[in-house]
């Protein structure tokens, strides 16, 4: 009598796995999540409309002093990665002083198409910021930009430098018109003086142009210093206002002491920086 061999039965792999899981437990397999609502916002870039300020070009009065409060205004913009991150609850900036790390200004950027923001909802956030510092306070300020999510997450921080410095330039002068010799002829004579004044910081930086005159014996004239004008007044001999040409007409009476007179011309800017003096000599004869 021969033995009968049962046919081989193939059990599907899925059934085997299911049975094993029933033996080991009913835990569900862990799958990765891609929910962006729990991801921190991401700043792609940030910019400032200015990166340096020369406080000696900012006028807040007729002259400049170290304690002047200098107003500084700028625009801050930042780009948020909206493709992979949720809309942030806020995008904010801070401006930090290099002297004591104090807060000079802070605020929120907006993506609303208003107040400097070019397009609403494009992920670019913008704001205008302003603050004041004393003219003497120079250094590299730090602009920090950061986004905050509604879930409490914070983005990366982008830091932008803002260099504040004093870079004043003294004015320069050149002589345009002045006689070398004046003959009195026993009557009063008019002496026209004209100077060209220049300043790398602009003509608006000029505060005054003057000259001192000295008699042949070396003594100073009683009227020193004499103020020159760029006002377009014919009385002063000036042809056009605000063109950097300073003029004055001086009357020499017939009793003027003969001899060689020395004239020293100087220009001053709002920081009280003086040009190199320009010396001109005029011989007065009868």
State residue 37's pLDDT score: 56
Give residue 66's pLDDT.
87
CATH number at residue 247: 2.60.40.10
The strand pairing partners of 195, in sequence order, are 175, 246
Instruction: List all residues 6 or more positions away from 195 whose beta carbon is below 8 Å from its beta carbon.
Output: 173, 174, 175, 176, 209, 228, 245, 246, 247, 265, 267, 278
Taking the C-alpha atoms of residue 177 and residue 207, their distance in angstroms, rounded to an integer, is 21
Q: The domain spanning residue 160 has which CATH number?
A: 2.60.40.2550
Largest CA distance in the chain: 167
Domain boundary among 101, 134, 165: 165
Same domain (yes/no): 262, 147: no
Query: What is the distance between the alpha carbons of residues 79 and 47, in angstroms, rounded to a whole number?
Result: 9
Cis status of the peptide bond prior to 225, with omega within 30 of 0: yes
- Span 127-163, pLDDT tens digits: 999 999 999 899 999 999 999 987 788 999 999 999 9
Q: What percent of the chain has pLDDT over 70?
A: 86
Give rounded-to-5 percent helix, strand, coil for the chain.
Answer: 10, 45, 50
Residue 252 has pLDDT above 80, yes or no: yes
Q: What is the pLDDT of residue 12?
A: 47
Beta bridge partner(s), residue 148:
90, 154
57 and 145 belong to one structural domain: yes
Let me know whether 81 and 139 are in one domain: yes
Q: Which of 165, 195, 217 is the last residue of a domain?
A: 165
The pLDDT of residue 118? 87
Mean pLDDT lowest among 57-66, 68-77, 105-114, 200-209: 57-66
Pairing of strands 226-227, 245-252: unpaired
Give the separation between CA 190 and CA 229, rounded to whole angstroms: 17
Measured CA to CA, the distance from residue 192 to residue 201 in angstroms comes to 28
Give the span between the Cα atoms of 243 and 241, in whole angstroms: 6
User: Is residue 14 situated within a structural domain?
Assistant: no
Most confident of the following: 86-90, 135-139, 245-249, 251-255 = 245-249
Alpha helices in 195-282 (DSSP H): none
Which pLDDT band, with edges at 50, 70 and 90, does 55 fall under?
Answer: very high
- The answer on pLDDT for 277 being more than 50 is yes
Per the structure, the complete domain to which residue 248 belongs is given by 172-285
CA gap 170, 92 in Å, rounded: 40
**Claim to verify: residue 176 and residue 279 sit in the same structural domain:** yes
Query: What distance in Å separates the CA atoms of residue 94 and residue 107, rounded to the nearest whole number?
Result: 7
Q: What is the pLDDT of residue 117?
A: 87
Tokens of 187: 């009557």
The band of 260, judged by pLDDT with boundaries at 50, 70 and 90, is: very high
Among the candidates 165, 188, 208, a domain finishes at: 165
Mean pLDDT over the full length of the chain: 86
Q: How far apart are CA 171 and CA 174, in angstroms?
A: 10
pLDDT band at 35 (very low <50, low <70, confident <90, very high): low
Q: Which residues contact 88 (CB under 8 A, 6 or more apart)?
A: 41, 80, 147, 148, 149, 150, 155
Give the pLDDT band of residue 38 (cuts 50, 70, 90): low
Q: Is the pLDDT of residue 25 over 60?
A: no
For residues 210-225, one letter each, b for 16 or more C-beta atoms within 10 angstroms of the residue's C-beta and e for the rest, the string is: bbbbbbeeeeebeeeb
Q: How many domains does the chain have?
A: 2
- Residues in a beta bridge with 189: 252
Looking at 3-17, 116-130, 213-227, which range is the least confident one? 3-17
pLDDT higher at 3 or 96: 96
Higher pLDDT, 201 or 246: 246
Instruction: Provide the pLDDT confidence category of residue 5 given band limits of 50, 70 and 90.
Output: very low
Q: How high is the pLDDT of residue 18?
A: 38
User: What is the per-residue pLDDT for 24?
Assistant: 33
Q: Does residue 176 sit in the same domain as residue 156? A: no
Q: Which residue has the tokens 């999510």?
A: 149
pLDDT level of residue 224 (50, 70, 90 thresholds) = very high
């Amino acid at each position: 009598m021969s033995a009968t061999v049962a046919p081989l039965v193939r059990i599907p792999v899925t059934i085997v796995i299911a049975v094993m899981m029933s033996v080991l437990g009913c835990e569900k397999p862990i799958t990765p999540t891609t929910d962006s609502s729990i991801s921190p916002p991401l700043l792609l870039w940030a910019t400032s409309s200015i990166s340096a300020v020369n406080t000696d070009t900012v006028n807040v009065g007729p002259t400049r002093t170290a304690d002047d409060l200098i107003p500084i205004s700028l625009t801050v913009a930042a780009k948020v990665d909206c493709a992979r991150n949720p809309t942030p609850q806020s995008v904010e900036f801070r401006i930090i002083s290099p002297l004591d790390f104090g807060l000079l200004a802070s605020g929120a950027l907006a993506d609303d198409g208003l107040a400097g923001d070019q397009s609403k909802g494009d992920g670019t956030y913008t704001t205008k910021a302003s603050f004041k510092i004393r003219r003497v306070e120079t250094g590299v300020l730090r602009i920090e930009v950061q986004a905050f999510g509604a879930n409490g997450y914070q983005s990366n921080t982008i830091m932008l430098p803002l260099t504040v410095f004093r870079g004043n330039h003294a004015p320069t002068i050149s002589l345009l018109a002045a006689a070398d010799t004046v003959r009195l002829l026993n009557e009063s004579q008019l002496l026209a003086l004209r100077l060209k004044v220049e300043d790398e910081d602009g003509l608006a930086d000029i505060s005054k142009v003057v000259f001192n005159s000295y008699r042949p014996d070396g003594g100073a004239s009683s009227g020193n210093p004499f103020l020159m004008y760029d006002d377009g007044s014919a009385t002063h001999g000036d042809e056009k206002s605000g063109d950097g040409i300073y003029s004055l007409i001086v009357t020499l009476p017939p009793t003027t002491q003969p001899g060689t007179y020395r004239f020293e011309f100087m220009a001053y800017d709002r920081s009280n920086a003086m040009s190199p003096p320009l010396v001109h000599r005029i011989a007065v004869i009868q």
